[in-house]
């Protein structure tokens, strides 16, 4: 079947169309992104303003049109922390449903961690043993670990690259004191949640997903996306530690000139790098491998598993 996955994040509304069949790897058929930038449409209390709501509806309508033109038979539509944390999320969701007919499933942070872990497990297989998976989004950091398809330890923290940039790095380039305060904040938040992960021992295969980790790996020398998904892309803590002060000394425009860094995400790359460095350091992870599958693929796999159970 041809399946559409509509991902409403902090920065973009991303439609992924795949050909998905039981027992086969989901094959991407089309990808379409619309710039959303919900962070620019938040009121002082974190609510989404009318302009942000209307922009979201516009993006969803566009995605539906693309999905129809691509022959999509079914649609999975979900939203993450961008809507999860907004005080007026129910009102925004109701407007989206009324105007487009799309009923967005708002995932919890734990849902994100579980589904991303499932995707990574299926990508690397059982031979990868004890997996540790890290994902840095616009609004939150998720981590999960375990030896099965369901993680034994998981967490979700409000340490997304966009959120931290908006709340703690207000200058461009950032002030040194703000960078120092952010590093302290991130490390304390992560350190307080690590006991379940430490109880499992060191992972056999540390893995990272998300655009943030892909960009960080790319600027430290990993192969470009044009080389394909099957090429191993690694990010070492040593390289990351060297790049954090470099990124802190750059403006967003200069970061956008780095390989693998898009202009719309350049402003939040430093915050993402600080979170990645803290998580790897506190867990004593020297290197992570970047996985091309993440949350969207996890949702597809969950749907296929459900269809198999119904058959």
Rounded to an integer, the average pLDDT of 21-32 is 88
Q: Is 150 helix (H, G, I), strand (E, B) or coil?
A: coil
Residue 68 is predicted with a pLDDT of 97
**How far is Cα 142 from Cα 133, in angstroms, rounded to an integer?**
8
Using the predicted structure, report yes or no on whether residue 194 has a pLDDT greater than 80: yes
Q: Does the pTM of the predicted model rise above 0.75?
A: yes
Residue 146 is predicted with a pLDDT of 98
Residue 130 is predicted with a pLDDT of 98
Using the predicted structure, report yes or no on whether residue 307 has a pLDDT greater than 80: no
Six-digit token string for 46: 């974190």
Residue 311 is predicted with a pLDDT of 46
Mean per-residue pLDDT of the chain:
95
Domain boundaries, the chain: 2-106, 109-295
Residue 306 is predicted with a pLDDT of 84
Q: Is 205 helix (H, G, I), strand (E, B) or coil?
A: strand
Residue 79 is predicted with a pLDDT of 95
Let me know the angle formed at the C-alpha of 305 by 299 and 306, rounded to the nearest 5 degrees.
90
Helix then strand count (H, E) for the chain reads 12, 11
DSSP-derived secondary structure for 65-93:
HHHHHTT--EEEEEE-HHHHT-TTHHHHH
Residue 305 is predicted with a pLDDT of 87
* φ/ψ of residue 18, rounded to 5: -130, 155
**How far is Cα 117 from Cα 155, in angstroms, rounded to an integer?**
12
Q: Could you tell me the pLDDT band of residue 310, with boundaries at 50, 70 and 90?
A: low
Contact 90, 101 (CB under 8 A): no
Nearest to 280 by CA among 197, 223, 166, 181: 197
Would residue 113 be called left, alpha or beta, if left means φ above 0 and alpha means ψ between -120 and 50 degrees?
alpha
Strand ranges of the sheet holding 131-136, from the earlier edge strand across to the other edge = 153-157, 141-146, 131-136, 205-209, 287-290, 234-236
Look at the domain 109-295 and name its fold. Nucleotidyltransferase; domain 5 (3.30.420)
Alpha carbon 178 to its chain centroid, in Å, reads 24
Contact 259, 219 (CB under 8 A): yes
| 119-172 pLDDT tens trace | 999 999 999 999 999 999 989 999 999 999 999 999 999 999 999 999 999 999
Rounded to an integer, the average pLDDT of 274-293 is 98
Write the class of the CATH domain 2-106: alpha beta
Six-digit token string for 132: 């540790």
The answer to whether 2-106 and 109-295 have equal CATH topology is: yes
Rounded to an integer, the average pLDDT of 34-48 is 89
């Amino acid at each position: 079947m041809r399946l559409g996955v509509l991902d409403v994040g902090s920065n973009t509304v991303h439609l992924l169309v795949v050909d998905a069949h039981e027992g086969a790897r989901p094959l991407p058929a089309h990808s379409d992104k619309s710039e959303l930038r919900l962070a620019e449409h938040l009121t002082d209390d974190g609510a989404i303003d009318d302009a942000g709501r209307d922009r979201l509806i516009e993006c969803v309508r566009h995605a539906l049109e693309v999905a129809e033109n691509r022959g999509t038979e079914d649609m999975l539509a979900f939203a993450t922390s961008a809507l999860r944390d907004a005080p007026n999320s129910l009102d925004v969701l109701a407007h989206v449903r009324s105007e487009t007919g799309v009923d967005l499933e708002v995932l919890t942070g734990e849902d994100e961690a579980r589904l991303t872990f499932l995707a990574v497990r299926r990508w690397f297989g059982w031979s990868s043993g004890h997996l540790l998976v890290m994902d840095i989004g616009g609004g939150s950091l998720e981590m999960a670990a375990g030896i099965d398809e369901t993680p034994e330890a998981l967490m979700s923290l409000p340490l997304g690259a966009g959120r931290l940039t908006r709340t703690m790095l207000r200058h461009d380039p950032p002030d040194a004191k703000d960078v120092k305060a952010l590093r302290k904040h991130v490390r304390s938040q992560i350190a307080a949640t690590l006991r379940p992960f430490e109880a499992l021992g060191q992972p056999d295969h540390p893995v990272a997903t998300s655009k943030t980790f892909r960009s960080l790996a790319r600027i430290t020398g990993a192969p470009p996306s044009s080389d394909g998904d099957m090429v191993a892309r690694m990010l070492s803590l040593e390289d990351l530690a060297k790049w954090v002060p470099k990124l802190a000394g750059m403006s967003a425009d200069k970061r956008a000139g780095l390989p693998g860094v898009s202009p719309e995400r350049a402003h939040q790359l430093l915050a993402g790098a600080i979170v990645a460095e803290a998580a790897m350091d506190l867990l004593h992870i020297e290197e992570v491998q970047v996985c091309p599958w993440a949350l969207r693929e996890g949702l597809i796999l969950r749907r296929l598993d459900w269809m198999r159970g119904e058959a």
